[in-house]
Every structure is written in structure tokens, then in C-alpha cells.
Amino acid sequence: MSIHRYCLLGLPRTGSQYIANLIKNTVGTTDLAEPFTENTVCKLGIEVNFNSIEERIEYVFDQLNKLNSNKALVMRLFLVESIQPYVDDIIKRLIDLNFKFLVIHRENIEHHLLSFLIALHTNKWHTLENNNQPYSADSSFEILRMNNVIWLYEQRMAFNTMLNQLNINYSTLRYEHAINDLEQFLGISVTSDVLFKKQIVGDPYKLISNASEVKQFLEKLMNK
């Protein structure tokens, strides 16, 4: 019997909810969301207020070890600076629990950063917060606070270094080609009619009234 346990390694705004939903609907996994992330409800048990990241990690593995070893699971782990000191230990323990690793990323860096800026501005991080629909260009908005995206750009620059240091086997899924890449990985047709959808369809600049200013800021950031 094939054990479907997947840990998605990526960064915020790489389509992790969308891809996890594709996997869940295709192979029947339970979605554990982001159990190692602070301030995220842990779907493994009751909601717990953790005093530290270490306490959260131990709680997650305590709950995972109680599950049937054949239970199909999917979870997300963002490789950001706050989790870096604990990543090696987390990965080793997930391997012992028969998890496979899928790296998710966006090929278009500019659109990745734009997605982050738009989510920060609207405080809507997935389609369920937007009436289950992608953003509409019918109601554009002005983005004035742009410096926050520098953090995500720095995480992108450090991502591959952190990934290579883990020395693990993984497959790669591209956000822009998620269904095709996932079908190639799983070897079966993927159920594309999912609850979580891609949040932005088309040109994200059409959503922003001061698009030229935002584009100039991002180009300067990416070319520095």
C-alpha cells in the first residue's frame, strides 16, 4: 500500500493552500495546514497556546506519533528565517514518519512579490476570504506600504541555500504549472475542482491603481 504523506516546502504566497488542496482532493489526504508555524491553529488536536517554537514542535510530533502510520497527510513548512534553527530536526523526524517532500515555488519573482503586497494590503490570504473568487480588476486599490515586501525577497534569496543544506530528496512543483507538475509526480490525473483556488488570475498590476509606482519599486528591489 502506498503511503501518501507529503510536506510542502516553500515560502508564503507560493500557492501552498491551493496545492495542498489539489493533493487532498486527488489522493484523499488530511490537510494539517502549517502545524509548525506560530499563531496557526494546529489541526492535529485541540488549539493550544504555545510558549515557544520548541514547545509547538514537540506537540506536533506527539500528535503525529499517535496517528495510524498509514494515515494520508499533507502539511506545509515555510523555510523562513524564524524556523531555520529547527528545520534539520523537523525534517529528520518527518522522514521517520514516511513523509515525502515537495518544494513549491513561483517562477515569476515579480508576481510572487506582488501577491504578497496585495495580501498584506487587503489582509486576504486565500480565495475563501474573497467570496471564494479570485480578485477582480473591477475594484482596484492603491498600495502605499511597499517596504514589507523586502522581507519576502530576502527569504527568496536565502531559500535555495537553506534547502540545499537539508540534503534531502524532493520533487519540485511550480505554482504556474501546479496541476501538470503534480500529475507528473503522482502519476494520476489531478482533481482540479478544489475549494481553494488561485487568488489572482491574469495581470496582478491591473488590481493596483498606482501600478507604475509599485512596478518601479519592485524592479529596483530585484535589480539592487
Alpha carbon distance 159, 182 (integer Å): 21
Q: Where are the domains of the chain?
A: 5-223
Cell (9 digits) for 12: 508564503
Rounded Cα distance, 188 and 89, in Å: 32
Task: Report the length, in residues, of the chain.
Answer: 224
How far from 121 is each of 20, 135, 186, CA to CA, in Å? 24, 13, 36
pLDDT value, residue 148: 94
CB 7 within 8 A of CB 58: no
H/E stretch holding 161 reads: helix 149-166
Nearest to 116 by CA among 134, 143, 138: 143
Give the strands of the sheet with 171-174, arranged side by side. Answer: 30-31, 73-78, 5-10, 100-105, 171-174
pLDDT in tens, the chain (224 residues): 477 999 999 999 999 999 999 999 999 999 999 998 865 556 676 667 788 889 999 999 999 999 999 999 999 999 999 899 999 999 999 999 999 999 999 999 999 999 999 999 999 888 877 777 788 777 789 999 999 999 999 999 999 999 999 999 999 999 999 999 999 999 999 988 888 888 888 899 999 999 999 999 999 999 97
Q: Which CATH class is domain 5-223?
A: alpha beta
